[in-house]
């Protein structure tokens, strides 16, 4: 059980994050002020600074919050696919659709966490790799991915390929819908790129 005061604090914190994310999506980060966020959250402007030192400081909190939501969405009991590889593709599509994946906001987010790179939990890219690694472990358990590979390493490879594809798509260099591009990228990683002469050439 939590006290009424603590519950109110959590509710205010949540309202501020929801308001900030909506405004960043609609107006962009630079065009959104702290006052805009507090007005949308229906709290006094000074209340914002009880929770976040600066406007930039809300970005890591948003990333952590969205990651928790992503983890919940990947639970089979929440309707996620039974296949771990299908859940990996689902996770990447959900990340790509998130406002925080927009290049301009993503740059702001990574700048906000740069001073805290010594903390493993502070970096959203590392957190995503760990989430993917968990799905890789589950895929290894059911035979969808080789079990002689380090799950964190494979999760990092998937994350790297995903962000590269995301940037290519945002720049307009890839044709087609982003979910299809993500699907093909994951399939290519799993299928491999070696041709019939690979063993002989090496």
Tell me how crowded residue 164 is: count the other CB atoms within 10 A of its CB. Answer: 11
Q: Assess whether pLDDT exceeds 60 at residue 83.
A: yes
pLDDT tens column, 47-65 = 999 999 999 999 989 998 9
- Cβ-Cβ contacts under 8 Å for 52 (sequence gap 6 or more): 16, 58, 61
Find the range with the poorest average confidence among 107-111, 162-166, 174-178. Answer: 174-178
The residues, ordered by sequence, that sit 6+ positions from 186 with a Cβ below 8 Å of its Cβ are 85, 88, 89, 92, 158, 161
Q: What is the pLDDT of residues 105-114, one digit of tens each?
A: 888 888 887 7
Predicted pLDDT of residue 152: 94
Q: What is the band of 143 on the pLDDT scale with cuts at 50, 70, 90?
A: very high
8 Å CB contact between 76 and 49: no
Residue 177 has pLDDT above 70, yes or no: yes
For residues 80 and 102, the model is more confident at: 80
- If pLDDT is split at 50, 70 and 90, which confidence band does 196 have? confident
Q: What local confidence, expressed as pLDDT, does residue 103 receive? A: 82
Helices (H), the chain: 4-27, 34-41, 45-51, 58-73, 84-97, 103-113, 124-141, 151-170, 178-191, 198-201
Tokens of 62: 């948003």
| Confidence band of 119 (pLDDT split at 50, 70, 90) | low
pTM above 0.95, yes or no: no
Query: What is the C-alpha separation between 32 and 43, in angstroms, rounded?
Result: 16
- Say what the pLDDT of residue 100 is: 85
By the 10 Å C-beta count (0-12 exposed, 13-18 middle, 19+ buried), 165 is classed as buried
């Amino acid at each position: 059980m939590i006290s009424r005061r603590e519950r109110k604090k959590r509710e205010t914190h949540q309202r501020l994050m929801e308001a900030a994310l909506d405004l960043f999506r609609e107006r962009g980060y630079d065009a959104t002020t702290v006052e805009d966020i507090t007005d949308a959250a229906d709290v006094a402007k000074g209340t914002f600074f009880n929770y976040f030192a600066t406007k930039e400081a809300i970005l890591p909190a948003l990333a952590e919050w969205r990651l928790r939501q992503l983890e919940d969405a990947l639970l089979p009991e929440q309707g996620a696919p039974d296949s771990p590889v299908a859940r990996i593709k689902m996770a990447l599509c959900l990340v790509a659709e998130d406002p925080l994946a927009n290049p301009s906001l993503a740059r702001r987010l990574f700048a906000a966490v740069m001073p805290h790179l010594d903390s493993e939990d502070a970096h959203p890219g590392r957190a995503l790799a760990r989430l993917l690694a968990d799905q890789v472990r589950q895929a290894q358990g059911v035979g969808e991915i080789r079990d002689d590979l380090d799950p964190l390493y494979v999760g990092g490879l998937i994350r790297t390929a995903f962000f590269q594809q995301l940037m290519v798509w945002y720049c307009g260099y890839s044709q087609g819908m982003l979910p299809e591009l993500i699907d093909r990228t994951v399939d290519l990683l799993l299928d491999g790129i070696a041709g019939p002469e690979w063993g002989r050439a090496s």
